């Protein structure tokens, strides 16, 4: 049977609106044969590059590698999107099969001696090839990629490395599926009455919709989606229910049954340590940080330790204030993790005279999306226009993105609502990355097709989706990542968009969050969903003055997770990850009223994502983003056009074509210290 008869052409030939994939024509069963064909085609392309008789040059080796594997990229982007954002049993079974198969495929490429000889020859002669800066960066990326994949190792070590990577791919897929299963299977159904005491209407609406989705019409479901569990922990006056929900939330991946992740963590950490040792590194942390801005675990520890001391001191002051509220109510219990959000909200209402419930009616999803687009227009001249096109789920919106001249330069897709088929969290990814290389099909370059995934609570029919301030920040954060992909302006795919070091990739996203709370944006877009009235100036002033409220708690939550991540990957194989986590947290003096933001058994960033030994990067980038926004503040104009142009040219558009330190210095003139970040968090004193 020929390829054309066995493979659905819609997977490889994207002929939807403006080159979108035709998601509606791709069935789950289409992926397996498409992967088989795409992997074979890519292998043939690699062999053709490696085995050609012509002497290696940049065009016949590096450019040839840059454009190889287009079919594999297409089927992969469609499949991993479905795996993360709209999964099911068929997709999960195929994921367990595809993950190790992809690892074997890339390990084989990494062990291709003939191909590495060509790349190595070019690398040794790089100063004599007349390469541009971007071409040098692309060559370096390919050469380092092969070396880090074991190209210089003896064959036996290469084969062991390949086996490790294959097993790690399987473990990662299983870890993520276990977390999703635990999130999907648990809910706390409430009937009403005093079980709903303290809950605002927006939360009851979201819980009713979640119950309806689970076949429990007329009831109210507390789920483990952050957009429901966090406000429930904040507003519920039923301490017993808060405790029950909180303990289920932090126990994801600790079921004791088939979805328990403890053995997966243990094996993953042991294999990562062995991998690092094979490649000549003392630890996996050393291996991962070798190609980042931070460079070494010691540099990461220096930043995290400095922040930890200030954060835990602030958190203890916050805890004392919360304990006083508990006593005031005539209760006799310590502040526990299921109490913190509840009493912090009461303290905020008292201290700043507003509550999250008072704020939320002004933060409609539709208006915050519009605010996101308006900021992009003010800074970069971008116009977003909604269009009608089939997407991978009915909730997904599609937008055309045009520049100041009206030219279409990207497509953006927004997937905002939680559902049981979607993994938790929020992320940005792409179906297609920007580049300007000629392709085999005759096209010159490709337009970026970028998407954001969030997990906001879906409202009842006819009601608006209302966000918390944290939700709104998340939306801005992910759109900052999306802009990094959409504004990319490079020649080569491997350095496009977010193809930068892990501790630089969060700069464009975290920086973009700052514009949410610029007064002119909030005044314009924070309008009451019933009256249409803008947020009163008094409430706006309170929101802005409360920006550092509870910062000790949030910084301790994050930093504890980052320090545990580093300990896992710096200290060698870990026999008992839960005991190791407890040891690290005890040594830090973590207050018993706070837990890690991501406990190890559901720490998907490091066990099912790209942040192993890299969770610190959010804070590393936060040092950069605080300083970068200060550059605008110093001009007195949050949308200063000169700074905006420098930001676009040096940060959002360059991708990995420039060293991140050089890119930042070209924008700001210098590298920052942590001081602006600490001040932003209210931890500078």
Residue-wise pLDDT tens digits, 122-165: 999 999 999 999 999 999 999 999 999 999 999 999 999 999 99
- How far apart (Å, rounded) are the C-alpha atoms in residues 506 and 616? 11
Residue found under tokens 């690892």: 103
The answer for residues whose C-beta is within 8 angstroms of residue 132's C-beta and 6 or more apart is none
Residue 183 near residue 254, CB atoms below 8 Å: no
What pLDDT, in 10s, does the model give residues 594-648?
Answer: 999 999 999 999 999 899 999 999 999 999 999 999 999 999 999 999 999 999 9
Q: Is the dihedral of CA 22, 23, 25, 31 positive or negative?
A: positive
Q: Which helix (H) or strand (E) holds 474?
A: helix 469-486
- How far apart (Å, rounded) are the C-alpha atoms in residues 456 and 472? 10
Q: What is the set of domains in the chain, with CATH numbers?
A: 3-181 (1.10.1370.40), 186-250 (no CATH), 284-336+347-352+549-680 (1.10.1370.10), 361-498+512-528 (1.10.1370.40)
* pLDDT(21) > 70: yes
What pLDDT, in 10s, does the model give residues 348-390?
Answer: 999 998 888 889 999 999 999 999 999 999 999 999 999 999 9
The answer for residues whose C-beta is within 8 angstroms of residue 385's C-beta and 6 or more apart is 399, 400, 402
Residue 334 near residue 323, CB atoms below 8 Å: yes
Burial (CB < 10 A; 0-12, 13-18, 19+), residue 294, is buried
The answer for residues whose C-beta is within 8 angstroms of residue 561's C-beta and 6 or more apart is 596, 597, 598, 603, 615
pLDDT computed for residue 685 by the predictor: 62
* pLDDT(49) > 70: yes
Residue 505 near residue 622, CB atoms below 8 Å: no
User: Looking at residues 87-116, what average pLDDT do you find?
Assistant: 96
Q: What percent of the chain has pLDDT over 90?
A: 92
User: Looking at residues 239-265, what average pLDDT do you find?
Assistant: 96
The pairs formed by 55-58 with CB atoms below 8 angstroms and a separation of 24 or more are 56/118, 56/119, 56/121, 56/122, 57/122, 57/129, 58/122, 58/129, 58/131, 58/135, 58/139
Residue 313 near residue 552, CB atoms below 8 Å: yes
| Band (3; pLDDT cuts 50, 70, 90) | very low
| Band (79; pLDDT cuts 50, 70, 90) | very high
Burial (CB < 10 A; 0-12, 13-18, 19+), residue 335, is buried
Burial (CB < 10 A; 0-12, 13-18, 19+), residue 369, is buried
Q: Is the dihedral of CA 623, 627, 633, 637 positive or negative?
A: negative
Does pTM surpass 0.85? yes
Instruction: Tell how strand 449-456 and strand 408-417 pair up.
Output: parallel
pLDDT computed for residue 2 by the predictor: 42
- How far apart (Å, rounded) are the C-alpha atoms in residues 312 and 335? 15
- How far apart (Å, rounded) are the C-alpha atoms in residues 301 and 294? 10
- How far apart (Å, rounded) are the C-alpha atoms in residues 485 and 508? 10
What pLDDT, in 10s, does the model give residues 397-449?
Answer: 999 999 999 999 999 999 999 998 999 899 999 999 999 999 887 889 999 99
Burial (CB < 10 A; 0-12, 13-18, 19+), residue 394, is exposed
Query: Beta partners for 435?
Result: 446
Please identify every residue annotated as catalytic: 478
N- to C-terminal Cα separation, the chain: 71
Among 99-113, 367-381, 457-471, the least confident range: 457-471
* pLDDT(391) > 70: yes
Helix, strand or coil, per DSSP, at residue 117: helix
- How far apart (Å, rounded) are the C-alpha atoms in residues 270 and 168? 10
The pair of structure tokens assigned to 176 is 């993520």
| Band (336; pLDDT cuts 50, 70, 90) | very high
Q: Which helix (H) or strand (E) holds 552?
A: helix 551-570
Among 272-281, 370-379, 668-677, the least confident range: 668-677
The answer for residues whose C-beta is within 8 angstroms of residue 23's C-beta and 6 or more apart is 16, 78, 390, 391, 392
- How far apart (Å, rounded) are the C-alpha atoms in residues 122 and 128? 9
Residue 550 near residue 348, CB atoms below 8 Å: yes
The pair of structure tokens assigned to 675 is 């001081």
Residue 414 near residue 399, CB atoms below 8 Å: yes
- How far apart (Å, rounded) are the C-alpha atoms in residues 441 and 206? 47
pLDDT computed for residue 573 by the predictor: 85
DSSP state at residue 685: -
The pair of structure tokens assigned to 591 is 């207050």
- How far apart (Å, rounded) are the C-alpha atoms in residues 131 and 137? 9
pLDDT computed for residue 461 by the predictor: 86
* pLDDT, mean over the chain: 95
User: Looking at residues 553-581, what average pLDDT do you find?
Assistant: 96
């Amino acid at each position: 049977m020929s390829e054309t008869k066995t493979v659905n052409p819609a997977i490889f030939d994207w002929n939807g609106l403006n080159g979108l994939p035709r998601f509606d024509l791709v069935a789950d069963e289409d992926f397996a044969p498409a992967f088989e064909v795409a992997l074979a085609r890519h292998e043939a392309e690699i062999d053709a590059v490696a085995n050609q008789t012509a002497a290696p040059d940049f065009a016949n080796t590096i450019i040839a590698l840059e454009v190889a594997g287009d079919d594999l990229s297409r089927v992969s982007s469609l499949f991993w999107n479905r795996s993360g954002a709209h999964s099911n049993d068929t997709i999960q079974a195929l994921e367990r099969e595809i993950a190790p198969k992809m690892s074997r495929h890339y390990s084989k490429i990494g062990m291709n001696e003939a191909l590495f000889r060509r790349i190595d020859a070019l690398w040794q002669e790089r100063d004599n090839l007349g390469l541009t800066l971007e071409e040098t960066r692309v060559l370096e990326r390919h050469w380092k990629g092969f070396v880090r994949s074991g190209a210089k190792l003896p064959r036996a070590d290469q084969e062991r490395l390949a086996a490790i990577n294959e097993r790690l791919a399987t473990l990662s897929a299983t870890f993520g599926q276990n977390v999703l299963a635990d999130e999907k299977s648990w809910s706390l159904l409430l009937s009403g009455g005093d079980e709903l005491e303290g809950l605002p209407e927006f939360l009851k609406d979201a819980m009713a919709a979640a119950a309806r989705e689970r076949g429990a019409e007329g009831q109210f479901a507390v789920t483990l989606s952050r957009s429901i569990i966090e406000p429930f922990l904040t507003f519920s006056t039923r301490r017993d229910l808060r405790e029950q929900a909180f303990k289920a939330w932090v126990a994801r991946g600790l079921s004791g049954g088939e979805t328990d992740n403890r053995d997966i963590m243990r094996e993953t950490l042991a294999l990562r340590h062995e991998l690092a040792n094979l490649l000549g590194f003392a630890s996996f942390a050393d291996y991962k940080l070798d190609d980042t801005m931070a460079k070494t675990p010691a540099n990461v520890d220096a930043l995290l330790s400095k922040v930890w001391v200030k954060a835990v001191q602030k958190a203890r002051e916050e805890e004392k204030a919360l304990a006083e509220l508990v006593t005031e109510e005539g209760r006799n219990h310590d502040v526990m993790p299921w109490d913190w959000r509840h009493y912090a909200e009461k303290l905020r209402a008292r201290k700043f005279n507003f509550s999250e419930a008072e704020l939320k009616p002004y933060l409609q999803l539709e208006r915050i999306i519009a605010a996101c687009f308006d900021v992009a227009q003010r800074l970069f001249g971008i116009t977003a226009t909604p269009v009608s096109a089939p997407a991978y789920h009915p909730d997904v919106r599609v937008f055309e993105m045009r520049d100041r001249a009206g030219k279409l330069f990207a497509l953006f897709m927004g997937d905002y609502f939680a559902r049981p088929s979607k993994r938790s969290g929020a992320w940005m990814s792409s179906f297609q990355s920007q580049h300007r290389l000629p392709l085999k099909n005759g096209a010159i370059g490709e337009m970026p097709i970028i998407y954001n995934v969030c997990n906001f609570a879906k409202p009842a029919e006819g009601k608006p989706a209302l966000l918390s301030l944290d939700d709104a920040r998340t939306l801005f954060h992910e759109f900052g990542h999306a802009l990094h992909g959409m504004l990319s302006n490079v020649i080569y795919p491997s350095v496009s968009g977010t193809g930068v070091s892990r501790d630089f990739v969060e700069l464009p996203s975290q920086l973009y969050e700052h514009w949410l709370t610029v007064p002119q944006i909030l005044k314009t877009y924070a309008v009451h969903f019933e009256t249409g009235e803008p947020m009163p100036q008094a409430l706006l002033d309170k929101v802005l003055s409360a920006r550092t409220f509870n910062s000790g708690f949030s910084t301790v939550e994050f930093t504890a997770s980052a320090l545990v991540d580093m300990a896992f990957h710096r200290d060698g194989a870990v026999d008992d990850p839960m005991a190791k986590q407890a040891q690290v947290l005890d040594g830090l003096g973590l207050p018993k009223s706070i837990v890690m933001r991501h406990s190890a058994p559901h720490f998907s960033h490091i066990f099912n994502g790209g942040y192993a030994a890299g969770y610190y990067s959010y804070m590393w980038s936060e040092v950069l983003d605080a300083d970068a926004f200060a550059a605008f503040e110093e001009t007195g104009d949050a949308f200063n056009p000169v700074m905006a142009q420098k930001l676009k040219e040096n940060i959002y558009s360059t991708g990995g074509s420039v060293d991140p330190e050089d890119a930042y210095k070209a924008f700001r003139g210098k590298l920052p210290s942590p001081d602006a970040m600490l001040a932003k968090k209210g931890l500078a004193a």
